[in-house]
């Protein structure tokens, strides 16, 4: 059962009030969540590269080099998504065999 808590700190008259001070334990990621993020990191970095390549072309017409850079970044994102899906499917499906 998950507890539902407010994410608003207690408002007092003190000057050193910090939001979420009372909920610091709830705000930290668990080890399992950190492991999941680490497993998805290649995809996250590929997405960042794609966005970077797209940002470069925002204020000008993309030339041939920009087009290749975006195409390579898209292909890398697709490759990382496929690899992540294969890792996830392999980890969740039971082995079928003799």
H helices of 18-63, in order, are: 24-27, 31-56
Q: Please tell me the distance from the alpha carbon of residue 54 to that of residue 61, in angstroms, as a whole number.
A: 11
Compute the mean pLDDT over every residue in the chain, rounded to the nearest whole number: 82
Asked, for residue 50, whether it belongs to a domain, the answer is yes
Confidence band, pLDDT 50/70/90 cuts, at residue 14: low
- What pLDDT does residue 68 have? 97
Whose CA is closest to 69, among 42, 87, 88, 51? 51
Asked, for residue 16, whether it belongs to a domain, the answer is no
Asked, for residue 1, whether it belongs to a domain, the answer is no
Asked, for residue 51, whether it belongs to a domain, the answer is yes
- pLDDT over 90 for what percent of the chain? 55
- What pLDDT does residue 90 have? 75
- Mean pLDDT in residue range 49-54: 96
Residue-number span of the structural domain to which 62 is assigned: 30-92
Asked, for residue 36, whether it belongs to a domain, the answer is yes
Asked, for residue 97, whether it belongs to a domain, the answer is no
**What single DSSP character describes residue 94?**
P
Domain count, the chain: 1
């Amino acid at each position: 059962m998950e507890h539902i808590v407010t994410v608003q700190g207690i408002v007092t008259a003190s000057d050193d009030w910090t939001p979420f001070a009372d909920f610091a334990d709830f705000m930290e990621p668990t080890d399992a969540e950190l492991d999941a993020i680490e497993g998805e990191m290649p995809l996250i970095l590929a997405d960042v590269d794609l966005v970077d390549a797209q940002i470069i072309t925002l204020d000008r017409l993309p030339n041939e080099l920009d087009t290749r850079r975006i195409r390579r970044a898209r292909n890398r994102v697709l490759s990382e998504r496929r690899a992540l899906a294969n890792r996830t499917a392999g980890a969740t499906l039971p082995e079928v065999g003799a």
